Structure 1
Amino acid sequence: MTSFTLAFDIYGTLIDTTSIEHSVNKIIGDSSKLFTQTWRNTQLEYSFRRGLMNSYVDFSICTKQALDYTCKKLNEPLTSQQKNNLLNEYKTLPIYPDVIQGLKLLQNTNHKIYAFSNGSNQAIQNLIKTAQIDQFINGSVSAEDVKIFKPSPIVYRYFNTKTDSTKNMTWLISSNPFDIIGASAYGMRTIWVRRSSESVFDPWGIIPTKTIGSLIELKEVLDSSI
């Protein structure tokens, strides 16, 4: 039976980064959605800029600095304790409701499942253990090991090296268009998890191999590709 290597992105794909909005709302009220979106977008922008500068830091530093920027940008002067509470919560964010069922459907297949993230090795382990999905995952691969972030081709190449896989038999599963585009440009097959009808894919002329709305659809998509 044909088997694939599955590279699951963590933040925004398995782990719900928007869930922190509830805690932000308790602090600043109605502008919590804008605050959360600005924080997440800036976090990603900082990782991209550091990649271009060859100035790697732990992804958690990008998260912290993005939070500081967001507070200044939106004139929301959070206290040090409030910031620390949010940053600590970021380490144990919950999974999306479809994750457990989606991974369970893959249990009796020959596919190898890996967590694949810009987060550090420790951050990945904390998240998947807290979410109790480590039982479904064969291993993890972190951009920390090569000191540069996705979507650099270096990170995708490292994934194949570490997992002893080939790019043409690897599927990247991600809700982040930048990640899908990066993996596609490198040569991996890709599945975009479009978690919101408001999500727009970048019009770069590069499209996902497949698009799904829920991880519950994943096994059927993979079965049809064998």
Structure 2
Amino acid sequence: MTTKICIFDAYGTLFDVSAAAREAAEEPGRDEFAVHWPKLAEHWRAKQLQYTWLRAITGAHTDFWKVTEDGLDWALEAVGLDGDAELRTRLLQLYLELSAYPEVPDMLRALKARDRQTAILSNGSPSMLASAVESAGIAPLLDDVLSVEDVGIFKPARVVYEMVGNRFGCAPEEVLFVSSNGWDAAGAAGFGFTTVWVNRAGDPMDRLPWTPTHVLPDLTTIPELIRN
């Protein structure tokens, strides 16, 4: 079946989730943080994801900004910097302005040149996503930005993936879904999407009932997967 629409996860897929910590570490006067930023970025992302899963399982939903704050607070304490309120504020500010990966604009332009619709489907709250999309300058290359806040539960709940068909009137088989999270690509595959796992770190495949259709090192060749 023809691929009509390409759906992208946002954080870690289009936007570099390590950019906030990395950019803060490069600012003048942050010599101590420069030592800790890689570990903080790793902790921050891990806790952010863990908290979405735990909240989904227990029915204790909150928006992704709260999860992001909670994950950062845990990470700051883990590296011994929880007393630095200014650093916390700066990191959260930078998270709203995450850099897109370098290949993102050209990849999206190539998809639009092939007359394909493009959209984001993300755990992010609408305000977070709007800020990131604007900061990256990719709004003109997207047909929509879908947030789980419309259904009140985080991925990989099936109702989240159902949002795509409800919005675009397409069958699962007509969707190419792209995520840097192996569990997300697997969950979307179980839903019926053709999926791409963007495995930038070269991680092992998750041991789940479903596997991604494609595994790529970055987003560059996504347009080559489109079937006419």
TM range (shorter): over 0.9
Deviation at 1:72, TM superposition (A): 2.1
Q: Decide whether aligned partners of structure 1 residues 220 and 23 sit closer, same or farther in structure 2, where only a CA change above 3 A counts.
A: closer
Aligned to 2:17: 17
* Map 1:77-88 → 2, pairs under 5 A: 77-88=82-93
The answer to whether the 8 Å contact 2:112/2:118 transfers is no
The answer to whether the 8 Å contact 1:3/1:112 transfers is no
Deviates more, 1:54-63 or 1:187-196: 187-196
The answer to whether the 8 Å contact 1:14/1:99 transfers is yes
Aligned to 1:138: 143
The answer to whether the 8 Å contact 1:24/1:36 transfers is no
Equivalents in 2 of 1:60, 1:156: separation in Å?
Answer: 21
Q: Report the number of matched residues.
A: 223
Deviation at 1:153, TM superposition (A): 0.8
Aligned to 2:216: 212
Deviation at 1:24, TM superposition (A): 4.8
RMSD: 1.7
Q: Note the alpha carbon deviations across 1:146-170, whole angstroms, 9 max, x for none.
A: 0100111110012221222211111
The answer to whether the 8 Å contact 1:3/1:110 transfers is no
1:222 to 203, 223, 226: 226
2:158 to 150, 153, 160: 153
Equivalents in 1 of 2:94, 2:10: separation in Å?
Answer: 15
The answer to whether the 8 Å contact 2:2/2:174 transfers is no
Deviation at 1:207, TM superposition (A): 1.6
Deviates more, 1:42-51 or 1:206-215: 206-215
Moved over 4 A (4+): none
1:61 to 66, 72, 77: 66
Q: Decide whether aligned partners of structure 1 residues 95 and 131 sit closer, same or farther in structure 2, where only a CA change above 3 A counts.
A: same
Deviation at 1:21, TM superposition (A): 2.8
Aligned to 2:168: 163
TM-score of the pair, normalised by structure 1: 0.92
Equivalents in 2 of 1:194, 1:114: separation in Å?
Answer: 20
Q: Note the alpha carbon deviations across 1:26-54, whole angstroms, 9 max, x for none.
A: 35232221111011000000011000111
Aligned to 2:46: 41
Equivalents in 1 of 2:91, 2:208: separation in Å?
Answer: 34
Q: Secondary structure at the match of 1:215?
A: coil
Q: Note the alpha carbon deviations across 1:70-125, whole angstroms, 9 max, x for none.
A: 12233223422211111111001000011111111112213110111100122212
Confirm or deny that 1:203 pairs with 2:207: yes
For structure 1, the residue ranges without an aligned partner over 5 or more in a row are none
Deviation at 1:209, TM superposition (A): 0.7
One-letter amino acid of the structure 2 residue matched with residue 101 of structure 1: D
Equivalents in 2 of 1:3, 1:73: separation in Å?
Answer: 44
Equivalents in 2 of 1:61, 1:159: separation in Å?
Answer: 25
For structure 2, the residue ranges without an aligned partner over 5 or more in a row are none
The answer to whether the 8 Å contact 2:5/2:118 transfers is yes
Aligned to 1:189: 194
